[in-house]
Structure formats: C-alpha cells, structure tokens
Amino acid sequence: MNPETLAQALLAVLAPIAAERRPGEPLGLSASDIVFERPRNRDHGDWASNVAMRLAKPLGTNPRELAQQIADGLATIDGVSSAEVAGPGFINIRLDAAAAGALAKTIVDAGESYGHNDSQQGVSVNVEFVSANPTGPLHIGHTRWAALGDSIVRLLLASGANAVREYYINDAGAQMDRFAISIVAAAKGEPTPEGGYPGEYIAALAGRVLEARPDLLGLPDDEQLTVARDLAYDYQLAEIKGSLERFNVPFDVWFSERTLHAKGEDGTSFIDQAVDRLREQGHVFDEDGAVWVRTTDFGDDKDRVIRRSNGEYTYFAADAAYYLNKGDRGFQNKIYLLGADHHGYVHRLKAIAGAAGDDPEKNIQVLIGQLVSIRGARLSKRAGNIIEMDDLQAWIGTDALRYALERSPADSPLDLDPELLQKRTNDNPVFYVQYAHARTHNVARNAADSGVDRSVFAPETLTHETEAALLGALQEFPRIVGFAAEICEPHRVARYLEELAGLYHRWYDNCRVIPQGDDPVESVHRTRLWLNDAAGQVLRNGLALLGVSAPERM
C-alpha cells in the first residue's frame, strides 16, 4: 500500500464523517490534498497524518475526536494493521507486513521508472547554467553549476516536466575583442596586453590558429583580429563542450548571443524587437535621450537603461531579449543558475520577467551558487590562475566530484577534501552509496549460485524491523524526487541515498537472502531477494538522477 492508495482509503473513511457533520456540503478534498509523513520514531508506525487537525474546525469538532473517528475507520481497511491517535490529533498508521512488503515487487517491476512522478506534468522549463565566456577553460565554479544544473534537469524530467539544458554563449561584446587581441599577441610572441587573457592556453590556441592560418600575421591588423577571434572561439568552445561531455553533462541547446544582435531582413535585430515589445507592455520610457525600463515596478532597486543616449544597447538589453526569446520558444518557466558574484542579477531578471508580462514569483527562478574551494588546491598550469574542470575531474574522478558538488545546497560554500573523496571507505559519501548498490548485485549473484530466485513473492514474510525500515525508505523515493524537482535541490536526493544505503547495510547484516548451511530455500529467502533487488534499483535510479554511475562490483 503506497501513500496514494492510503490517501484514497483515508478519504473514503473521512467522507461519511464529514457528511454527517456538514450535511449537504461537499468535503472539497481530493486524495492529493492528504499528506502523509514518516514518523521520526518508527515505533509510532509507518505513516502519520495531521488531516484531523486541519479539518477539525471546519467540521465543528475537536482534533482528537475527529482523529479517533478516522483512526477507527482506517483500522478496518485491508492492509492497515493499526491506526492510533497521538498528541493533539496526529494519526499514526501501521501497515501489515504484506501491504508494506508489496512495494518490493512494485519497484522491481517498475525498474528505471520507479521514482518518476507527475508533479511537474505539463510544465515547460528552460534551465540555463554554466554559460561561461568562450574565452577560456571552465573552472571550479562552472563545475559546480554543471553538476547541479544537469541534475536539476534530470529531476524535472523525472517529474514529468518538459525541461531542457541550455548554455548561453557570451560570444558578443568587449570580452571577445580582448580575446582576439590576446591570441594575436601570443601568435606574435608578445606579452599579454593590458586587460587581455593570460595563461598557457592562450599560447596553445594561438598555435592552433597559426597552424590553420599560416598567413595570419601577414594580414591587415583588423583582419588578423577577426580571423584569430573566430578560429580561437571555435577551438575554445569545442574544448568547453568536450569538458562538459566528459563530466556527463549533455546540453540540449547552445544559444549564441550573436543571434540576438544579428539584423534580420527587415533591418532589425531581436534586441530591437524586444525593446519595442517591452514598450508595448507599458514599462519603457524615454529620458535624457536614453531608453529605460521601469524595473522598479517589479522590485528592482533602480530603473535600468536598455539603450544609451548614443544609441548603443546595454547588457540589460541582451538579457531582456534573451528572456523574451525563451518565452517565444515555448518555455513558460525559466531557471537561471548564476555565480556568487551575480547577486545583482536577481532583481534585474525578475524585473525583466514582470516587464514581459510574466509572474516574477512563478515564471522565473534565479539560483545563486556559493564559492567552492579545494583543500590542497592545484591551480591550472594552462590557465595560470584558476582550477580547471578538466584538472578536477582527472584528480578526483567524475563520480566523486559530481556527488560532492551535488550533496550540499547551492547557496552553501563548499570546501572539498580530495583525499577523502578518493578513499574507498564509508567516510566517503559517494563510495558509501555506490558500495551499497554494488552489494545488492553481489547478493543477487550469490543468491543465483545458491539456487535462490524470485519465483516466489510472499510479502507477508518481511517482518523484521530492518525490513520495515528499508521498505519505508524505498516508499519515500518518488516523493523525494518530486520535492527535489520542485525546489531545485538535488542534494535532497543525495542525502536520501545515504540514508537508504545505511538502512540497506543494516538489513544486510540482519536478514539472510541465502539459507545457512544445509537449510532449505524458503519463501522468505526468495522474497528477500525481491527486496534486495528493489533496494538496488532505487539506489541506481537515484544515482542516475545525480549523473553518477552505479557500479555492480567494487
């Protein structure tokens, strides 16, 4: 019996009680309105509900009296072992072993789809993250957002959303000019110009540019910069894509900022059109020869210039055009993942959403990540002043690095310990979870060698306290996935997996899947194999949501 089934049962019990107390008035509740929680103390049962406390006043009674009526009715439901009232009106419900144990087969039969839910069904979401300038390698800050952004999308997809991963390529503006100047200087063997990009990677890119265009230095100065910029841009962007692919982060859309500035057949750019559209919404005004957006109407600390008096557009103009473009592509909700130095963008982006006619509290979410430090940090020899994603991945490993970056909230600073993350001990969280998964496969292999299969499923035999605890945790997985997707917090899944791994290890220590000695194979052994495989499936599904592998042997 899962929470949905239990909610339907409770609703069926509650309906006649409500009809008696409020004749002719509909209850106005659905099963989705009835929420169950796991009691902290498992001695209190499998599930707890505060529905009596919520409905007592509307039904004209006190919470404990209503709770007792509901508990009496629930106790007669098949699959419910007992229902008791606690405290001011909580209802603690205990399922019988067969009803609780049936979950193991449900999970095995569902396979990779277990944990998927429809909490985000019908929602279209654009998740933009990383979006580093294509003027250098990805660094440690980008690495954190790569891991988190990818997992957020995985959670949204598992919860029924139409979600895409999008990378905004900042390939227009002054940084691209500085990039070109740096490449040409390196090609000439000159020092990095003031404001340019240092690092060995610039020299390496310059070498590739010269290899592709041996005539580069013989070209006019303007043409040198154009050729160097375009070729180095392509090479560097390809390196960024390769780094992300190796980190198991596939992007669905690579959006070039240049497309916002490009003139169409009518002579206008998307930015031109965006300003006109915002003006139609009534939030654009002219002052001192410049064009402004009245962003203070939506909580911004000041109004923003979108086009300067000299006719040049500001960065804010590109941000606004990009936001509108996402809506034009059918994304009702937009999630931005920004670095720790981008706090000022929160009000600005929400103001754009409001000016575009969207709900700033619903249609846009801006997540700000905090800094990541590494004990014993190794600065990149290529870049000179940063810790590169590629170096981190080679040093710590993809699984350990992703898991470590995802198991803490985005807004909390991180200090990673590479020595710990490379240990094959239970002190290392990713090893602890992966080892639990590998152990489920080892149990299954040994069971097959001993003649234990899944030909029998007798859930009523799963009566040990560690089995009840393990089943209770497995039951929670879909709710955890849906909640993590709703609030964009992958660490909820990581912490859940660590708890599940601990419960599995305790079950393994207490309940045998393989008979001892010459004892015969019984129904309980075959049923425990179902439970073992169910635990492995959930561990595997959870790790997949984090982009982490689930090894079968360790």
Taking the model in full, what pTM does it have? 0.90
DSSP assigned state of 464: S
Q: Are 176 and 425 in contact (CB under 8 A)?
A: no
The pLDDT score that the predictor gives to residue 215 is 97
End-to-end alpha carbon distance in the chain = 34
The pLDDT score that the predictor gives to residue 257 is 97
Q: Are 539 and 500 in contact (CB under 8 A)?
A: yes
Q: Are 196 and 232 in contact (CB under 8 A)?
A: no
* pLDDT tens by residue, the chain, 554 residues: 778 889 999 999 999 999 888 888 887 888 778 888 888 777 788 899 999 999 999 999 999 999 999 999 999 998 899 999 999 999 999 988 888 899 999 999 999 999 999 999 999 999 999 999 999 999 998 999 999 999 999 999 999 999 999 999 999 989 999 999 999 999 999 999 999 999 899 999 999 999 999 999 999 999 999 999 999 999 999 999 999 999 999 999 999 999 999 999 999 999 999 999 999 999 999 999 999 999 999 988 899 999 999 999 999 999 999 999 999 999 999 999 998 888 888 999 999 999 999 999 999 999 998 878 887 666 565 666 678 999 999 999 999 999 999 999 998 988 899 899 999 999 999 999 999 999 999 999 999 999 999 999 999 999 999 999 999 999 999 999 999 999 999 999 999 999 999 999 999 999 999 999 899 999 999 999 999 999 999 999 999 999 999 999 99
Show the tokens assigned to 494: 């990581």
Beta-bridge mates of residue 290: 287
CB atoms within 10 A of CB 86: 15
Strands 90-95 and 304-307: unpaired
Left if phi > 0, otherwise alpha if psi is -120 to 50, otherwise beta: which for 45? left
The pLDDT score that the predictor gives to residue 378 is 63
Cα(505)–Cα(526) distance, integer angstroms: 19
From the centroid of its chain, how far is CA 108? 24
Q: Are 278 and 356 in contact (CB under 8 A)?
A: yes
DSSP assigned state of 461: G
The pLDDT score that the predictor gives to residue 380 is 61
Beta-bridge mates of residue 347: none
Q: Are 42 and 472 in contact (CB under 8 A)?
A: yes
Q: 3-95 domain in CATH 3.30.70.20?
A: no
The domain ranges of the chain are 3-95, 124-170+250-372, 174-246, 424-545
The pLDDT score that the predictor gives to residue 420 is 92
The pLDDT score that the predictor gives to residue 414 is 87
Q: 124-170+250-372 domain in CATH 3.40.50.360?
A: no
**CATH classification (class only), 424-545:** mainly alpha
The pLDDT score that the predictor gives to residue 46 is 86
Cα(328)–Cα(58) distance, integer angstroms: 45
Q: Are 87 and 50 in contact (CB under 8 A)?
A: no
190-201 burial code (b ≥16 CB/10 A, e <16): eebeeebbebeb
The pLDDT score that the predictor gives to residue 358 is 95
* Nearest-10 Cα torsion for 131, 134, 139, 145: 10
